[in-house]
Amino acid sequence: MSTVVSVQNLRKRYRRRDPWAVDDVTFELDAGQAFGLLGPNGAGKTSVVKMIAGLIRPDSGTISLFGSNPGNPAARAELGLAPEDPDFPKFLRAPEVLDYFASLLGLDDEERKRRIPETLEFAGLETEHRQIRQFSKGMKQRLGIAQAILGRPKLLILDEPTADLDPIGRRDVRALIERLKQSGVAILLNSHLLSEVERVCDNVAILARGRVLKEGTMSEVVPEGSNLEEVFVQLVEANQPQRDHMPSFISERQ
Amino acid sequence: MNGALAVSRYTLVEISRRRLLLVFFVIGAVGIGGLGIVLKAFTSAFVPGGSGGPGYQGPTPAQWEKLTELQFVTNLIGALGVFALLIAFAIGMTAIYHDLESGAAVAIFSKPVSRFAFTVGKVLAAAVAMIAIVGLLSLEARLVMFLFGGGLEAALWFETLAGVANAAALMLLVLALSAWMNNIVAAVVAFIYNGVAGVVTALHQQLVSGSFGDNQVLHTGLNIAYWLVPHPLVSSAPREIVRQEFEIFAASQPPDAPPVDQIVSSIPGPSSATDILWWVFVVCVLFAILYFAVRRRQV
């Protein structure tokens, strides 16, 4: 299988005095594979995703996206990114946003006429005529996924794709991932919903404080008789200072 | 190129839906129309209809009409300048800032579009929007001028061009600053810059007209300041208006009155080719600053 994205010894920090947000991260993702990037808040998952999408520059290490540097616009032609907490030009409407992005993707008129209504229908936004500024977070998330699949990408990056979705939306996203995998699309999934990751991903990497704690196929990472959540909690807690979980006043009698 | 056009097209759609711009446009349109109608009504009601009696050397009714027209054009130039600046600020503060600050830039920059194309598209849309709005206000002004029988076509045409050019440079400055800092801070900085540029231009004009005498240090200092601080372009309209006003009252001037050329020399004269080249250079530098900010921006 051909490698879609290859990340080697990636390091990134946002200010010189800050700790590394991403520290020596290495992994590869092949066509038709679903890769889960897991970690607690602030582990560096979104930073990795943004570097792969060419949105931020690594301090060191290399990224190969379809064999090119992601800073090169042509390398992003077959990339679909559904960002965490997505937003769009706020005075546009959903079909206009998709038409805008279809233009950026270089789709011709015929393809736009075919794909935009179908994508809007998939996202459940076909009857929505309000401007983006009037959208709920869930609607923006649906539109975020819609614009990511519009160009029929060969790599789809989903950063917390179901965080603001209702159960039906989550089911649709799960079905979408399965369908795309079958058609050879590589999926990079950032999610806190470990049961979801366990269901759809072939490989996982667990990050904490920017470093990869464990990486491999699902069966390599999750031993028999255990589950991903247990492995995740054990690994992460062993790598960060123990916290006193509950504020003392919670248990006081009223 | 397609990317730039797509960015430009949908930025224009966004700009056209911003209520603040619509409000500025409506106030401008009503203001210009109202100004013309009020001046016309004033002329009809109060300007003397006769010759003024034996020995009267003041303006004739036709000259009063002309004077009112010049008054209208003077006010119009001021009003158009103010509205062009307001529109420049309104577009400059929002056209790029909101995309960069919201998550919109994440979705846009993950598409196969270069940051150069994005910047070109944004600037193109901002320029087209401003030219369209100021152009419509100018068109209305020309229609109102028919109330006075028309005239001063060339002067108004060049004044509109100079106004748009100055507002475009200021808009680009606000755009460039808003890619580096908060858009309100950017607008305040640009406002202060605009004031400084105006003062430098006015002082330089006084220097050119000889008001500061032969002080060589002042001469050199103001000349350096004039060519360091990007200064606004000026058309021939301000001088032309004063000249025509002076000519209306020429008959009633005392014999020892200073000649018209001396009077108009204290008013900023039309920008030279060097001034226009300097404006082009400044616009290129501001675009480069904007592009550099967008390019290094990590979203």
User: How confident is the model over A86-134, as pLDDT tens digits?
Assistant: 999 999 999 999 999 999 999 999 999 999 999 999 999 999 999 999 9
* Least confident interval from B12-21, B43-52, B87-96, B261-270: B43-52
Q: What is the ipTM of this complex?
A: 0.91
pLDDT score at A244: 66
Pairing relation of β-strands A186-190 and A203-208?
A: unpaired
d(CA A221, CA A232): 9
Q: Do B107 and A88 touch (CB under 8 A)?
A: yes
Cα distances from B290 to residues A77, A198, B93, B100, in angstroms, run: 25, 45, 13, 12
pLDDT of residue B149 exceeding 70, the answer is no
DSSP class per residue in B121-145: HHHHHHHHHHHHHHHHHHHHHHHHH
Taking the CA atoms of chain A, what radius of gyration do you get in angstroms? 19
Contact between A233 and A247 (Cβ < 8 Å): no
Q: Which residues pair with A93 in a beta bridge?
A: A131
What average pLDDT score do residues B81-89 get? Answer: 90
Residue B52: which pLDDT band, with cuts at 50, 70 and 90?
low
Residue A158: what are its φ and ψ, rounded to 5°? -115, 110
pLDDT score at B48: 62
Pairing relation of β-strands A3-12 and A22-30?
A: antiparallel
For chain A, the first-to-last Cα distance in angstroms comes to 62
Q: Do A85 and B103 touch (CB under 8 A)?
A: yes
* Least confident interval from B57-61, B139-143, B202-206, B224-228: B57-61
In this complex, the residue of B14, B108, B299 whose CB is nearest that of residue A104 is B108
What average pLDDT score do residues B213-217 get? Answer: 82
Interface of A with B in 35-74 (CB under 8 A): 50, 53-57, 73-74
Interface test with A, best of B2, B7, B111, B122 (most A CBs within 10 A): B111
d(CA A71, CA B112): 10
> What is the tens place of the pLDDT at every residue in B222-244?
889 888 888 888 888 888 888 88
Contact between B168 and B88 (Cβ < 8 Å): yes
Contact between B80 and B156 (Cβ < 8 Å): no
What average pLDDT score do residues B6-34 get? Answer: 92
In terms of pLDDT, which residue wins out, A231 or B248? A231
d(CA A54, CA B17): 31
DSSP class per residue in A110-128: HHHHHHHHHHHHHHT-TT-
Residue B53: which pLDDT band, with cuts at 50, 70 and 90?
low
Q: With contacts defined as CB-CB under 8 Å, which chain B residues touch A55? A: 106, 109-110, 298-299
Q: Do B107 and A103 touch (CB under 8 A)?
A: no
Contact between A171 and A15 (Cβ < 8 Å): no
The DSSP 8-state label assigned to residue B31 in this structure reads: H
> What is the tens place of the pLDDT at every residue in B266-291?
787 888 899 899 999 999 999 999 99
Question: Mean pLDDT, chain B, as a whole number?
Answer: 86
The DSSP 8-state label assigned to residue B201 in this structure reads: H
Pairing relation of β-strands A60-65 and A3-12?
A: antiparallel
The DSSP 8-state label assigned to residue A93 in this structure reads: B
pLDDT score at B112: 96
The phi-psi region of residue A135 (left if phi > 0; otherwise alpha if psi is between -120 and 50; otherwise beta) is: beta
| Residue of chain B with shortest Cα separation from A58 | B298
pLDDT of residue B62 exceeding 80, the answer is no
Q: What number of other Cβ atoms are within 10 A of residue B261's Cβ?
A: 10
Taking the CA atoms of chain B, what radius of gyration do you get in angstroms? 23
pLDDT of residue B55 exceeding 80, the answer is no
Q: With contacts defined as CB-CB under 8 Å, which chain B residues touch A63? A: none
> What is the tens place of the pLDDT at every residue in A177-199?
888 888 899 999 998 889 889 98
Three-state DSSP at A27 gives strand
Interface test with B, best of A50, A91, A150 (most B CBs within 10 A): A91
pLDDT score at A147: 96
**Nearest-neighbour CA in chain A from B12: distance (Å):** 11
* pLDDT tens for the 254 residues of chain A, in order: 689 999 999 999 999 999 999 999 999 999 999 999 999 988 999 999 999 999 999 999 999 999 999 999 999 999 999 999 899 999 999 999 999 999 999 999 999 999 999 999 999 999 999 999 999 999 999 999 999 999 999 999 999 888 888 888 888 888 888 888 888 999 999 988 898 899 889 999 999 999 999 999 999 999 888 889 999 999 988 887 766 678 888 878 87
**Nearest-neighbour CA in chain B from A214: distance (Å):** 28
Query: In terms of Cα–Cα distance, which of B109, B111, B91, B90 is closest to B100?
Result: B109
Interface test with A, best of B8, B15, B20, B110 (most A CBs within 10 A): B110
pLDDT score at A246: 81
Cα distances from B238 to residues A198, B141, B142, B159, in angstroms, run: 75, 17, 17, 9
Interface of A with B in 67-96 (CB under 8 A): 73-77, 79, 81, 83, 85-92, 96
User: In the numeric block, which tokens belong to residue A192?
Assistant: 């806190």
pLDDT score at B1: 75
pLDDT score at B50: 54
Task: Give me the residue label for tokens 């060097």.
Answer: B274
Size of interface A-B (CB pairs under 8 A): 94
**Nearest-neighbour CA in chain B from A218: distance (Å):** 29
Q: Do B107 and A81 touch (CB under 8 A)?
A: yes
The pTM score is 0.89
Residue B56: what are its φ and ψ, rounded to 5°? -70, 125
d(CA B122, CA B54): 65
